[in-house]
Amino acid sequence: MKKSTLILLILCTFCITTAFAQKYGHVNSNEVMLAMPGIDSVQIKLVEFQKELSTIYENMVAEWQTKQEKLNKEAGTMSAAVRKLREDEVSGIMNRIQEFQYNVEQDIEDEQMRLIAPFQEKVQNAINDVAKENKYSYIFDTRILLYFDDGDDVTPLVKKKLGIK
């Protein structure tokens, strides 16, 4: 009985010591991302992508306006069947414009995610390496922490790992 109590006491002491020995760190991944070489090219590429989509949109609107104006001018001289055909055509163009507007936001978001993904992967790999090399149990991102008072700021270590000064 005394042996099992002693073993239990030693085991509890070991568990408590291990629990308190955990190392916590925090990183500002946004700061790291913004300091990465090449990140500014993401914004440039995204603006170019938005301009391309804007040009497509403007061309669609110009086509709709041209067809609508032609329909308005010639409506009085058209047969009912031709007028219905042209109205359906104009309506179809308007539907495509509305669908384009609906999808364009998602396309921009997808393009942004595609462009940023390689940078996010590099930052995550650097954080993982810093955690392993410095024996951190947890590393939290300061962007989502509401409060932190303890733990080490590993942002400089992550930047160093990525070769950022």
Domain ranges of the chain: 23-161
In DSSP terms, which residues pair with 130 in a beta bridge?
A: none
| Residue pLDDT, tens place only, 50-92 | 999 999 999 999 999 999 999 999 888 989 899 999 999 999 9
Rounded distance, CA 28 to CA 148, Å? 12
- Using DSSP's 3-state secondary structure scheme, residue 151 falls into coil
The string of DSSP codes covering 91-147 is: HHHHHHHHHHHHHHHHHHHHHHHHHHHHHHHHHHHHHHHHHHHTT-SEEEETTT-S-
Give percent above pLDDT 70 in the chain. Answer: 87
Q: Is the pLDDT of residue 14 over 60?
A: no
pLDDT of residue 6: 46
8-22, 56-70, 146-160: range with highest mean pLDDT:
56-70
Residues 11-30, mean pLDDT to the nearest whole number:
70
**Token pair in block for residue 134:** 């410095």
Fold observed for domain 23-161: Protein Binding, DinI Protein; Chain A (3.30.910)
What does pTM read for this prediction? 0.70
